[in-house]
Each structure stands twice: as structure tokens, then as C-alpha cells.
Amino acid sequence: MKRRAFLRTLSAAGGFLAGGPLPAADKVKRNMIVRSTRPEDLEMPLDGFATWITPIERFFVRSHMYTPKVDLSRWQLRVEGEVATPLTLTMEDLRKLPQAELAGVLECAGNGRSFYRPTVAGLQWEHGSVGNGRWKGVRLADVLKRAGIRASGKHVLLDGADVPMGTMPDFVRTIPAQKALHADTLLAFDMNGEPLPVAHGFPLRAIVPGWAGDSWTKWITHVRVLDKEHDGFFMKTAYRYPVTSVAPGSSVDQALMTPVESLRPKSVIGGPLEGSRVGADGKPVRIWGVAWSGEAPVAKVEVSTDSGRTWLTATLGQDRDKYAWRSWEHFWTPPRPAHYVLMARATDARGETQPFAQDWNPSGYLWNVVPQVRVEGGPGPEMMSTMPTQAAPEFPPKVKQACIGCHESDAIAGQRLTRAQWEREADKMIRWGATVKPEDRPELIDFLARHFGVR
Ligand code: HEC
């Protein structure tokens, strides 16, 4: 059996190989939007923004691959590459280093992808592939200094225990040495005061505060210091966006793109909800949400109740930490029965603010457009804003055979792509190991474009 297939069988059997301390079962997630069942991709609905620290049960999950179950008694951290003394550390060794803790936002680089027009392939996240966690661990800088990082070490590669599906490339990323050596960049073993859950990277994950989640590698087993950026798929193809604006829908040369790093100022309106009726009783309406930014903290949040004509400063919550989100609220009495467009806009300490329109990028990263919520103010009936959800169609046997296995049909049914995009998507899957006979390809593309096309 090939190593990958063997490992997959083991993890499917629940890690019987272990014979030692396996992690405790994760807390069951509750009230999440399932974007993909397997690998697991879960989004937090808007009500989750009501708490400052996101409970583990509500914390979003993004997995490129299946979740590995790591046996802690066999786990080791290898530190190698451009260092004077390569190290092999156990968790006990690691815990002896000075510990550090911070609260910080973890946001998927693709959060908000579903709002891009034209639509792009990838999980169709709305607002909630983001959470605010409390992370405890050791400084990556302390580990690197202990190994004696050389002056030639410019990038730090983090690799986890997850194993790719099919012929897909491994999830490996590097972060520049400057960020890796920053005192706030951690290797964390605790989340919200508990051992890191399996879904969140047990036993060790990277905390790269202010940066998007693609740098926050889970299940870390290797730290390798390199003299240049790693040149694998997840550095050079995925997680890049154009340096200057490009024509929406075009494909962009990799050389003209830069890696996703810092997050941008962003706010989310947690309530009222789109299409709701507010202020029918004449009492003030609470408009609320959270706001965060990259490496500079949020300085202010403004709210508009008149489609962006005028803005008022919202009140920020007391809970704060440099990289954490800030809750905000603003009370408003609708002056007359009417249709209102509510907006929120965050500005960070560097003066950077949210745009009203965003440059399109081919993978739909770093969405931070000013959010809008439409409500009816005053007495009357509820608006009918939500479209009835359509049931996913039955997959024909040939499509099932080719496309369901590595993942379920949900990863496909969530997409809205043009025919050309479906062709590119199918070719990617074929490169990664999907078996599609050339004579079956047109029928496959027809099915995908017909049912999961751009609406
Ligand atoms: C050999 C395994 C495998 C097979 C078979 C497979 N896929 Fe995938 N698919 C993947 C992987 C790996 C991903 C990416 C998972 C991730 O990064 O989250 C993926 C993700 C996707 C996505 C989400 C968008 C994206 O690009 O991440 C779509 C859509 C998709 N596959 C469509 C298909 C279709 C259509 C077929 C049948 C032709 C298929 N897949 C067959 C492995 C496979």
C-alpha cells in the first residue's frame, strides 16, 4: 500500500496505531454552516460574533486535507535547515521555554470569497471563516534562537502532519524570518485555556497574529529555516493576489502576484439581520458587530444608517488586545417608516479603512468591503429577502464515481462557476487524481455548468 493510502486507513480507523496518549475528543461543533463535510470546512453564522472570545464549539474550521490524529507520545518537533544546531524537541522540552499568551483573530484568507463578482472557485465563505481565540504557547523566535538561526535564514517553513489527497501537493508554507522572529509569533499548544483541539491543530499550531490563516499551520512537526521562500504550490500558486488591479475574471501571471500576508481592516454587522423589520416599537435599535485589522489595532468604527451619506462613530467594547477583534455598537431610532441600508466601516491605527468596492482577485482573498444590511424601519410586514434554497441535484453515476471520494458533493454544490471555470476546475481535479475518461469529460462539464453555473 502506498504511504498515503496507508495513513488514510489508519486515520479512518481512529488512530489505533497510537498505543499512547491520543488527544481527547474535540468538543462537538454546534450551529455551524457546513461548507464541506470531508475534509471539514465549517463556517460560524453571524450570531457567533456576539462573543468576544469565540468558543471552540463555534470556531470555524478550514481543512485542505483530512485531519491527522497525532499521538503525543511519539510526536516530535524537528527544527532544521539554516541553523547551527538542528533540534528534536518533545512537547515537554517545548513547554520548558518561556510561555506567551495573546488573544487574536484567526481569519481564513478566503473569508468573504462568495461576495466577489465574477464568482471564483473555492469554498463559498460569507462572513464567518473567522474567530477570535486566546492562544498560548512559546515564541517561535525562542525555538529558532535555541537552534541558532543563521544569518542566511530568510524564510521559515512550517509543515504539519496532514497528508495530501490523491496527487495534490502537500500543504507547506513559509513565513519571512522577520515575521517568524517577531515576539508575538507563537507555536501554540493551548486554545481558549484548553489543549488545542484536533480540528485546530493538536498538538501544535502556528499563531501568526495579524496575518491571514494560511500562515497559521496546524499539526506542526517540522520547522525548517530556508534561505528563500518555499517554492511549493501553496506558496507560489495558491494564496497569492495581484499587486495591481486586474480585469475581473482574468487569469493572472504568478509573477504579478504577491503572497497573502497581513489582514485588512474589516467590520461585520452581526445585527440586525438582512431583511428584518426594526424599530416597530419606537425603541432604539441596536446595530452591532465586531471589527478587526491586521498588525495595527482598530482605531474606530463608524456606522451609517442612510446608505453611506453620513457616518456616526460607534461605541467600542471594553475587551481588547492588540490582534483581537473589537466589538462595537450603535443605537439608532429609525426617523420614519422606510427602507434603510445600514453600513459599518472600520479604520485602523495606521489610518487604513474599508473600501466600498474591492479589486477583484482570481482566488477571492482578503475581502473587506464595507458591509451592508437592508432593513425595514417602523411598523409593517417583514421583507422577503431570502431566496428559497434549492436542493442539490442528484449526481449522475459517472460524475459520482469521478468526483465523490476525496470529498463529498457539498464542495462542488457550493460553487457558482462559468463553463470555462468548471473546465479549469475539472482539469485541476484530474491533475490531483480524479479519474475522468476523455469521452466522459463533456458530459461532466455539462452537468457542472448546468447545475452549478453563475446565476
Ligand atoms: C483525488 C482526490 C479528488 C477527486 C477524485 C476530486 N477532487 Fe475535488 N478536490 C480535491 C482536493 C484536494 C480539493 C481541495 C481541498 C482544499 O484545498 O480545501 C478539492 C476541492 C474541490 C472543489 C472546491 C474548490 C477548490 O478548488 O478548492 C471543487 C469545486 C471540486 N473539488 C470539484 C471536483 C470535481 C468536479 C471532481 C470530479 C471531476 C472532483 N473534485 C474530484 C480532491 C479531489
The answer, yes or no, to whether any atom of ligand 1 lies below 6 A from the CB of 426, is yes
In our burial notation (b when 16+ CB lie closer than 10 A, e otherwise), range 330-341 reads bebebeeeeebe
In 3D space, the residue among 233, 156, 39, 215 whose CA is nearest the CA of residue 205 turns out to be 215
User: And the C-alpha cell for 105?
Assistant: 483573530
pLDDT at 388: 57
User: And the C-alpha cell for 152?
Assistant: 542566511
pLDDT at 14: 40
The answer, yes or no, to whether any atom of ligand 1 lies below 6 A from the CB of 411, is yes
pLDDT at 386: 55
The yes-or-no verdict on residue 394 having pLDDT over 50 is yes
CA of 132 from ligand 1 middle (Å) equals: 29
Residue 35 exposed, middle or buried by CB count within 10 Å (0-12, 13-18, 19+)? buried
CA of 193 from ligand 1 middle (Å) equals: 35
In our burial notation (b when 16+ CB lie closer than 10 A, e otherwise), range 385-398 reads eeeeeeeeeebeee
**What does the pLDDT average to over 80-102?**
98
The answer, yes or no, to whether any atom of ligand 1 lies below 6 A from the CB of 61, is no
The answer, yes or no, to whether any atom of ligand 1 lies below 6 A from the CB of 233, is no
Determine the distance from the C-alpha atom of residue 114 to the mean position of all C-alpha atoms in its chain, rounded to a whole number.
Answer: 13
Residue 451 exposed, middle or buried by CB count within 10 Å (0-12, 13-18, 19+)? middle
**What does the pLDDT average to over 78-104?**
98
The yes-or-no verdict on residue 377 having pLDDT over 80 is yes
CA of 308 from ligand 1 middle (Å) equals: 40
pLDDT at 12: 40
| Cα distance between residue 110 and residue 258, in whole Å | 15
pLDDT at 190: 98
User: How close are the terminal C-alpha atoms of the chain, in Å?
Assistant: 44
The yes-or-no verdict on residue 9 having pLDDT over 90 is no
Q: Whose CA is nearest to atom 4 of ligand 1?
A: 434
Q: Give the confidence band of 105 by pLDDT, cuts at 50, 70, 90.
A: very high
- Ligand 1 atom closest to residue 63's alpha carbon, by position in its atom list: 18
pLDDT tens, position by position, 270-295: 999 999 999 999 899 999 999 999 99
In 3D space, the residue among 122, 187, 27 whose CA is nearest the CA of residue 414 turns out to be 122
Ligand 1 pocket test, candidate residues 113, 400, 429, most atoms within 8 A of CB: 429
CA of 16 from ligand 1 middle (Å) equals: 28
What single letter denotes the amino acid at residue 355? Answer: P
User: And the C-alpha cell for 398?
Assistant: 459517472
| Cα distance between residue 60 and residue 66, in whole Å | 16
Q: In this predicted structure, which of 7-16, 123-132, 247-256, 338-347 has the lowest mean pLDDT?
A: 7-16
Cβ atoms 72, 21 nearer than 8 A: yes
Q: How confident is the prediction for the chain on average, in pLDDT?
A: 93
The answer, yes or no, to whether any atom of ligand 1 lies below 6 A from the CB of 402, is yes
Q: Whose CA is nearest to atom 41 of ligand 1?
A: 403
pLDDT at 250: 86
The answer, yes or no, to whether any atom of ligand 1 lies below 6 A from the CB of 191, is no
| Cα distance between residue 172 and residue 60, in whole Å | 21
- Percent of the chain whose predicted confidence (pLDDT) is above 70: 93
- Ligand 1 atom closest to residue 426's alpha carbon, by position in its atom list: 38
